[in-house]
Amino acid sequence: MQGVNLGDENKLCVQSLEAAEKELLSRCKQLSIIETVQKKTMELLQLCTSIREISFDTEYPFVDLQNFPALGYLVKLFLEEAPWLESFEGICNLPELQAFRVTGAPLRDDYLHTLSAGRNLVELRLESCNDLTDLSPLASIKTLKHLFIVDCVSVKKGIGTLGGLPTLRELYLSGTSMDSESLCGLCDTRSLAVLTIVSCGALEDISLLATIRTLHYLTVEVCTALKTGAGDIGKLPELYELDLSYSSIKDSCLSGLSESHSLRKLVLASCSNLSDVSSLGTMMTLEYLSLNSCGTVGDGAGNIGNLPKLRELDLASTNVTDATLKGLCVSRCLSKLNISACSNLTDLSPLVEISTLEELNIRACMELRRGIGDLGKLPALRKLDAACTPITNDLVQELSVSRSLVILLLDFCVDMTDVSHLANMSTLEELSINSCVSVTQGVGTLRNLPRLRNLNMRAVDASEDELTCLREMGVSLLR
């Protein structure tokens, strides 16, 4: 039927409400509208007697919600482009509305209170509503559990009043003008479990957050002015995950964080002021740690090997050295390690002691001189990314003793000329040798790999007979 796409019996996408069959409208539960509707066509929504969700995927042309007919079963409403919406008057026609998303509306503070007529609102997302400055009217919506304020660049006031919402569990604030004082009052919450603050450049101090004892997950990411208060977060008794990426925190805050008895995941990626992370070696509950792109981190990183529960460690693009690896080798549970682009590393041989290692990334460690071949001895290693490293034919032969590797990435290893030894790796399922431009031998022998399914070999010479044979073996080739 022209203008109508029925994905299944419950979902309907219409280019024109007027063109849609009444029977389809009456039984659909999810409706996507991709026309700019008029007032008279809005009346057709009353035919949607089973409707649960409506999405206006193009411009919603009205200043409020009063053109909606009474829809007693509507639970979700999404206005993806609402350049004229100034108030929420008429929301009372949608008494069961629980989830509401509005994007690009010229909402002003003095009309925000009209949302309070939505008696059952559980989830609210306001995105790119640039005229909003004050969120305090939202504190009257006592049913809210999930609130997302995204790229509302002028918002600064009223955030603290949200601490009075009795059931608020998740608060997301991105791209606002909030500062440290904006957090005052938020600590009154007795329900907030997930708090995410992203790209709020005026935020310098998060000390107040250390009093929200209900927090389980806290992200304060790309808040580049953040310097103070991060150490106090270690006092939170039930905090499981913390992300402070792209902040200006210093080593001094780490001692406070290390007092945590609950943190399982800690992300400090691109914190350029960090250098000595030795205090993190006392965080007994930590399972995941990222220091990715902390370019001056080197001192104390070896202490992390003492963490009894650490399974995943990301030290990519840091200043770690061979001594760091000697410290890490005492680990008895580390399964995933990323040390890519660490230009000070020359010897990987200590890693052979980490028998639990399953995934290792050494991509772009250009100064490696020893220990690459030894990695073939790791009994549990399933994935190795050794792209852009100085691997030679002899090292390939040493690696080929592995009886566990499933995925091997050797892209841009230009010192390698012969891949025939790889044919001995009977467990290999995926091999990538893209841009290994010096390879002239051994491609044909890869047909002997019994489990090989994917072979990436762009810019690698191979005869048509070799390629045909591999395809006949069921190997997917990327050329």
* Pair of tokens at residue 275: 């250098």
pLDDT 10s digits, 393-444: 999 999 999 999 999 999 999 999 999 999 999 999 999 999 999 999 999 9
Name the pLDDT band for 16 (thresholds 50, 70, 90): confident
Number of helical H runs and strand E runs in the chain:
6, 22
Chain-centroid distance of CA 439 in Å reads 37
pLDDT at 446 over 60: yes
Answer for the pair 15, 37: CB distance below 8 angstroms, yes or no.
no
Helix (H) or strand (E) holding 13: strand 11-14
pLDDT at 1 over 60: no
Q: Residue 202 and residue 226: Cα distance in Å, rounded? A: 8
- Cα–Cα distance list, 418 to 373, 400, 455, 464 (Å): 15, 12, 16, 18
* Pair of tokens at residue 475: 């190997």
The residue-averaged pLDDT of 35-57 equals: 93
Q: Residue 208 and residue 169: Cα distance in Å, rounded? A: 18
Answer for the pair 275, 251: CB distance below 8 angstroms, yes or no.
yes
Query: Please, what is the average pLDDT of the chain?
Result: 96
Determine how β-strand 11-14 pairs with β-strand 4-8.
antiparallel
Q: In sequence order, what are the residues at sequence separation of 6 or more whose Cβ sits closer than 8 angstroms to the Cβ of residue 113?
A: 137, 140
pLDDT given for residue 20 in this prediction: 86
pLDDT 10s digits, 185-230: 999 999 999 999 999 999 999 999 999 999 999 999 999 999 999 9
Name the pLDDT band for 10 (thresholds 50, 70, 90): confident
Q: Is 3.80.10.10 the CATH classification of the domain at 387-479?
A: yes
Q: Residue 193 and residue 180: Cα distance in Å, rounded? A: 20
- Cα–Cα distance list, 160 to 85, 95, 179, 185, 209 (Å): 26, 28, 11, 4, 11
pLDDT at 3 over 50: no
Name the pLDDT band for 242 (thresholds 50, 70, 90): very high
Answer for the pair 375, 396: CB distance below 8 angstroms, yes or no.
no
Name the pLDDT band for 299 (thresholds 50, 70, 90): confident
Name the pLDDT band for 351 (thresholds 50, 70, 90): very high
Q: Residue 361 and residue 334: Cα distance in Å, rounded? A: 13
pLDDT 10s digits, 313-327: 999 999 999 999 999
Which one is predicted more confidently, 391 or 15?
Answer: 391
pLDDT given for residue 8 in this prediction: 59
pLDDT at 234 over 60: yes
The residues pairing with 150 across neighbouring beta strands, listed in sequence order, are: 127, 174
pLDDT given for residue 2 in this prediction: 37
